[in-house]
Structure 1
């Protein structure tokens, strides 16, 4: 048997620091801005920024400019990167810790009544209907997933319909964008905004622990011919939806604090 390794895997060095772990835990629930992390963790902004930079350099966290206010950036936990890093860390400790299958398990043992999830963006023509369709697909209808917009378009974006049909075998062609005002009498377990602008104006349809934000750029911003942007957006949303499944399946998910 070889001698013990003297160097811990990079993930251990990054995640073991108490503040970096707090940052990762906060970003695991929702994309957040620096000032929100400062308030949430009660730490100086320069310290928060320093540790965010280390997490970004390590590939565990990404940042994107707000499409609503370009002076702000939203930070996002790269869950896939964390999963790969954790797998490599376990394998470095003992071969038995290398999983045979790292794919997330489907939602199981859903409580009755089923969870309700509302996805929100501005136009309700691309990001939010894609997210709702993906969640229904992954849960085989076990979750009541709908979408709405703060300023809905007259129809779904044709590329949103196309990307779901071509890459996920899902047909939403018959749907029409919905206004948030039509849901004022509804309550949801989770309300997830996918648009930085919509986040600022979304009413309180859920308890604070159920309000999440995914900062996803508008794929239509690149023009009518930028179909690849919709492919990237749909893949990003699909990844986020898969990572949402164990949260929805958790019996104490609603007790988590933002």
Structure 2
């Protein structure tokens, strides 16, 4: 008889299942809809949905309705919560296995020469904020630009204000660009931040290096909504940095 003892940490129990581990692995690269995860994993939709519900219940995965087609939902892996859970699991096993759950900063990652395109609809808030933050976090070592499928005449004033006040970045003189003016170039990563762009621009679906970050449009909200949007994008960018560095090192 095996003596009883403390149960394994919740993260270990949740991630130990092979299908849930694969879901975590796929969602670590970007946000997906259920049918896309079904296709990636090759399992029935009811089974995938069941394990997604368990992951949502654990708090590791969140979901929200597509801003373009409300019949669909995007699932997102909370990498910061994962980092905290992994750190707690290490300590539960042995005090010496304490991990630093903080996301990497630009100082922790070797400079990379990568080309990244951020895409959204208006190119007045989400994508220019992402462009500015990635350039800022990498000290200009990453070649980054952004564009919109239906660009607005000007940058949203709250996007300009949040970047200036909270990050010391000024994009006041920048003007929204059309995606068609920038997609003629080759990019190592094409990151869509708008559900509509991803679902309408079908050529994006076939892009082998497409990442989707399902970021709600902040345009209908005030300064706090834009501040929350920028913080979420900044967190995702900090977790993107080691991925870019690893991929560049792997290239011949």
Bin for the TM-score computed over the shorter chain: over 0.9
Is residue 83–residue 101 contact of structure 2 (8 Å, CA) maintained in 1?
no
Listed as ranges, the matches of 1:136-215 within 5 Å are 136-202=135-201, 204=203, 208-215=207-214
Root-mean-square deviation over aligned CA pairs: 2.1
2:10 corresponds in structure 1 to 10
Relative to the length of structure 1, the TM-score reads 0.90
Deviating more after overlay: 239-248 vs 4-13: 4-13
Structure 2 vs 1, CA of residues 165 and 86 (structure 1 numbering), >3 Å: closer, same or farther? same
Number of the residue aligned with 2:47:
47
TM-score computed with the length of structure 2 as normaliser: 0.92
In structure 2, relative to structure 1, the CA distance for the partners of 1:4 and 1:244 (3 Å cut) is: farther
Separation in 2 of the partners of 1:64 and 1:45?
Answer: 18
**Matched residue of 1:29: which SS?**
coil
Partner of 1:235: 231
2:109 equivalent to 1:108: yes
Structure 1 residue 221: deviation in Å? 2.6
- Assess if the C-alpha contact under 8 Å between 1:23 and 1:37 holds in 2: yes
SS where residue 28 of structure 2 aligns? helix
**How far does residue 209 in structure 1 lie from its aligned partner after superposition?**
3.8
CA distance 1:203–1:139, change in 2 (3 Å): farther
Q: Is the 8 Å Cα contact of residues 30 and 76 (structure 1) preserved in structure 2? A: yes
Q: Deviations over 1:158-188 (max 9, x none)?
A: 0000011111111111100000111242110
- 1:247 and 1:253 in contact (8 A); partners too: no
Bigger mean CA deviation after superposition, 27-36 or 94-103: 94-103
Which blocks of at least 5 consecutive residues in structure 2 are unaligned?
none
Is the CA contact (8 Å cut-off) linking 1:192 and 1:211 kept in structure 2? yes
